[in-house]
Amino acid sequence: MEAVLMEASTRDHQNGGDSVVNYSADIGHIKNGGVAFNMEPSNAPVEIKFQNVSYSVTEGSIFKKRIKKEILHEVNGRFPAGQLIAIMGPSGAGKSTLLNVLSGYSIQGVEGRVSINGTPRKLKAFRRLSCYITQEDRLQPLLTVQENMQTSADLKLPSNTTQKDKEAIIKEILTTLGLNDTKNRSIANTLTRGLSGGQKKRLSIALELVSNPLVMFLDEPTTGLDSSSCKLCLELLKVLARQGRTIICTIHQPSASLFQMFDQVYVLSAGKCLYQGGAQKMLQFFEDVQFRCPKFHNPADYVIELACGEHGQDKIDKMIERSDNGKNVKYFDDAGKFLETTSFASTVMFEDDTGNLQATSKFNQLKVLLKRGYIKSKRDTTLTYLRIGVNVITALMLGTLYLKAGTDGSKVLDNYNLLFSILMHHTFSTMMLTILTFPTEMSILIKEHFNRWYSLKMYFTSITIIDIPISIFSCFIFTAIVYYMTAQPYDNTRFIMFFVTSLLVVFVAQSFGLTIGAYFDVVDGTFLGPTLTVPMMMFAGFGVSLRDLPRYLYWGSYISYLRFALEGVVGAVYGLNRPKIDCPDEYCHYRDPKKFLADVAVKSDQFGNDVIALVLFWFILRTLSFVVLKYKLHSVR
């Protein structure tokens, strides 16, 4: 391995130190189709410099003492433009933390200075020039590769970009990354969930390349990929760097062949810098600190062994001292030693750190998100087809169990149980579906929102609008089946009252589930959802009449949306001066609906107030879910 690196270093010096051009010529045509990537950045390249950067988090809870833990310890460094840079280190060294700080993803608990081409970083302006690609492939699984790319183009390119230009950009990116047509099938028309790990990783890169960023941050881009896919991924990143982009990625422990593809390496150990410089000059660094790398040993493996402390803490301390915690630039390659001596000397003209982060208008964002949401809904077997199917099956089961109970005076209490069961169905099926599915969507939202695809307001508006037709259709089918199978009063007014109340319960329950799903993970949400619904059932007036509630607990009935929902459906069925019900027996206690309403403490003239109360619950919970989403997006940073 030593001989290989020395030979590469010698070849670089023989070529005047400009290995950049030679390597670019070698891989300028990616092996997936022989097409070069011609989307060069339109702005001057970006050099990132950071000084005395520290990052701390506070651990603990209300039951334990809160302790401040420092993850990065005043590290320094400079990442020149036009280079492929690796942040290396053992697990827990602070690789991803440093990447998050430099990208602006982490903003709380950060101290120190980050400069862009010698100018203090303005975060909003910097985010317009950069993108962040997470370790997990956070992609829309129900969209094809082409549809994902089209959505990215519609959101990340200026509104005055023609569709023809967008298609040309998409085609070039997909072809370059090997995501276009193949001999056997068209990958571009494949659903994202059907892609391999390597294809998903390339698609993640492709989606952000649409806006042609100057700086790209990638967290563990080779994780989960085979050696061939890793090599292809790094070759692509190398090409992008050679066009003037600054490519920074974390990597755990690359193979020897992958390690030598990096221009610069930044090694961390317990939040401090052990080495900063060219990958080819790491061997010289080992010589200088008198920790000679064993012959035929991968330098990447050896430096990780040192960083882990396998060879003693004294060696770690000596490397930190030699690198001066990232201030030493002695081991930089000549091609990227100083920004002012290269062709990248011009300064990026930053915009003011104000204004809209997104590339397109709010209206265009909403239009694109609605289109994407429609495609997802059309293909979603869980949120759409299974949801409709469950409503139909449950309605048939309840209709069979309570067949014609609505016209039987001897089954009024049974019918009352049916009405409450209907509300429970709407509550739990809708709420739990949202709690179980939204956390996955949340991870995609965090990534896309940070990379300036759209504003949170437009995203929230789109998911609200998209779900309304499905909710209405599912609720209507359910209501129609149950209502007529159980022979509730055949009156259009009563049916509409019944349907409107049921639909509002669906909207309220969904908003309640969205609030929980936006903040908690699936496990916690699955527990909290039903648990928090139980008090609402207790104060709904079912089982225990509202008049029998203790005075000190009566306030609970006002915070239970099920109380107003139950009053609404009972009033729709037994209110409006309904005449006496047919009784097959000699005596039916609740033959007169007014007597039943009196016993369950339901007033028949409160339907308008019930609707207003449910609408208020819907509005409040919907607003709360938006606030929780906004807080969550901020808290993860």
Q: What pLDDT is stored for residue 353 in this prediction?
A: 56
Report how far residue 107's alpha carbon sits from residue 124's, in angstroms, rounded to the nearest whole number.
12
Write out pLDDT tens, residues 89-127.
Answer: 888 888 999 999 999 998 888 999 999 988 899 888 888
> Distances from the Cα of 353 to the Cαs of 107, 430, 461, in angstroms?
15, 42, 26
* β strands within 169-263, DSSP E: 215-219, 246-250
Report how far residue 173's alpha carbon sits from residue 160's, in angstroms, rounded to the nearest whole number.
20
In sequence order, the 6+-apart residues with CB closer than 8 A to the CB of 32 are 175, 176, 177, 178, 232
Write out pLDDT tens, residues 382-391.
Answer: 888 999 999 9
Report how far residue 11's alpha carbon sits from residue 25's, in angstroms, rounded to the nearest whole number.
15
Q: What pLDDT is stored for residue 97 in this prediction?
A: 92
Percent of the chain predicted with pLDDT > 90 = 41
Q: Are 170 and 150 in contact (CB under 8 A)?
A: yes
Report how far residue 202's alpha carbon sits from residue 463's, in angstroms, rounded to the nearest whole number.
27
> Distances from the Cα of 19 to the Cαs of 104, 125, 299, in angstroms?
31, 32, 20
Q: In this structure, which amino acid lies at residue 554? A: Y
In sequence order, the 6+-apart residues with CB closer than 8 A to the CB of 144 are 188, 189, 190, 191, 192
Report how far residue 103's alpha carbon sits from residue 571's, in angstroms, rounded to the nearest whole number.
58
Least trusted range by pLDDT, from 180-189, 539-548, 589-598? 180-189
Instruction: For CATH 3.40.50.300, list the domain ranges present in the chain.
Output: 2-341
Q: What pLDDT is stored for residue 231 in this prediction?
A: 83
| CATH of 2-341 given 3.30.460.20, 3.30.70.980, 3.40.50.300, 2.20.25.240 | 3.40.50.300
Question: Strand 84-88 and strand 264-269: pairing?
Answer: parallel
Listed in sequence order, the DSSP H helices in 344-451 are: 362-379, 387-401, 412-450
- Is the pLDDT higher at 441 or at 24? 441
* SS3 per-residue string spanning 70-106: EEEEEEEEEECCCCEEEEECCCCCCHHHHHHHHHCCC
State the Cα angle at 359 between 448 and 218, rounded to 5°.
40
pTM reported for the whole predicted model: 0.84
Task: Give phi and psi for 447, each to the nearest 5.
Answer: -70, -50
Confidence of residue 531 (pLDDT cuts 50, 70, 90): very high
Confidence of residue 352 (pLDDT cuts 50, 70, 90): low
Per-residue pLDDT at 338 exceeds 70: no
Least trusted range by pLDDT, from 83-87, 181-185, 364-368? 181-185
| Strands laid side by side in the 110-116 sheet | 64-79, 48-61, 110-116, 119-120
- For residue 33, the Cα-to-chain-centroid distance in whole angstroms is 32
For the chain, give the mean pLDDT: 84
> Distances from the Cα of 474 to the Cαs of 154, 328, 467, in angstroms?
31, 65, 11
DSSP states along 523-547: HHHHHHHHHHHHHHHHTTTSSS-GG
Per-residue pLDDT at 427 exceeds 90: yes
In sequence order, the 6+-apart residues with CB closer than 8 A to the CB of 214 are 41, 43, 45, 46, 129, 130, 244, 245, 246, 348
471-477 own/partner pairs: CB under 8 Å, 24+ apart: 471/430, 471/503, 471/506, 471/507, 471/510, 472/503, 473/388, 474/387, 474/388, 474/391, 474/506, 475/391, 475/426, 475/499, 475/502, 475/503, 475/506, 476/503, 477/388, 477/391, 477/392, 477/395
Q: What pLDDT is stored for residue 15 in this prediction?
A: 38
Confidence of residue 381 (pLDDT cuts 50, 70, 90): confident
Two structure tokens written together for 438: 């939204």
Write out pLDDT tens, residues 473-530.
Answer: 999 999 999 999 999 999 999 999 999 999 999 999 999 999 999 999 899 999 999 9
In sequence order, the 6+-apart residues with CB closer than 8 A to the CB of 251 are 86, 87, 88, 220, 221, 222, 258
